[in-house]
Structure 1
Amino acid sequence: MPSAKPRQPVPGTTIFDGEQARKGYALNKMCYSFNDAANRRAFVEDEDAYCAKYGLNPQQREAIRNRNVLQLIKAGGNAYYLAKFAGIFGLDMQDIGAQQTGLTKDQFKAKLLAARG
């Protein structure tokens, strides 16, 4: 069996690996719960209680308060689960991509279209 190639770090990118998955378990579990409309309403009604219910740590809680996807990723968040959190606020994956790249949503969309060739 060939050995795995070591990962080359990508500047500014947090790799979602086993360590990040363990770190973000509570956060991702909470975000997964947002598949249910009642849970989304409960979060909006009492965000602090909802985060406490899932045992978010201070770093995760701060990132939730800031609505900052990059902080959430550093705190162990998985982009697919974080999309459920962002959806509560009417944000989509293009909003998240714009935040990650430091662009406006329109600039990010233009960049995606330009990359298509």
Structure 2
Amino acid sequence: MTDKPYEDIPGTFVFDADRGREGYHLNQFCISMRLQKNRDAFNADEEAYLDQYPMTPDQREAVLKRDWNRMLELGGNIYYTSKLAANDGINFQELAGIMTGMGREAYRDMMLHGGRPIEGNRYKKEWGED
């Protein structure tokens, strides 16, 4: 991926054309979870079902470990990866709580009160990260 100005947003993986190409097979797998027959096959044998999708080893590992943030970093689209979460009984609000490390209730409370403050959250350099 090339350097882009929005790569400096802390905790954010912007889904752009490059990330979409990188995550194509991961996203194809995730969107397959919208059909019950596919969920049944995946739940019966995750490894075998994933063999249908030529993901990178890192993508495959992220799926198997349910490493939601890593899936996004590796090209996953949040709306597609949420199909896998739904298969696991995790709704979108719970998923956001998991991904932020806040938990569902704290995440919900934050959002009801205007979301994360912008101060200190604009750039990674504000967090001391590169």
Q: Which whole-Å CA distance do the structure 2 matches of 1:62 and 1:49 have between them? A: 13
1:43 aligns to what SS in structure 2? Answer: helix
Aligned match of 1:89: 88
Aligned match of 2:104: 105
Q: Which has the higher helix share?
A: 1
Instruction: Output one character per residue of 1:34-61: Cα deviation in whole Å (capped at 9) or x when no partner.
Output: 1110000100101001111111211111
When the two chains are superposed, the root-mean-square deviation of aligned CA atoms in Å is 1.4
Aligned match of 2:22: 23
Letter in 2 for 1:101: T
User: Runs of 5+ in structure 2 lacking a partner?
Assistant: 116-130
CA drift at 1:114: 1.4
Q: Which whole-Å CA distance do the structure 2 matches of 1:24 and 1:96 have between them? A: 19
Which 4+ residue blocks in structure 1 deviate beyond 3 angstroms? none
Aligned match of 2:32: 33
With CA pairs under 8 Å and 6+ residues apart, which has the higher RCO, 1 or 2? 2
Instruction: Output one character per residue of 1:48-99: Cα deviation in whole Å (capped at 9) or x when no partner.
Output: 0111111121111111111111011011100000110101110011122112
User: Runs of 5+ in structure 1 lacking a partner?
Assistant: 1-5
CA drift at 1:18: 0.8
Instruction: Kindly indicate whether residue 69 of structure 2 is the aligned counterpart of residue 70 of structure 1.
Output: yes
Q: Which whole-Å CA distance do the structure 2 matches of 1:11 and 1:85 have between them? A: 25
CA drift at 1:101: 1.5
Determine what percentage of the aligned residue pairs are the same residue.
35
Q: Which whole-Å CA distance do the structure 2 matches of 1:99 and 1:45 have between them? A: 25
Figure out how many residues of one structure are paired with residues of the other and give that number. Answer: 111
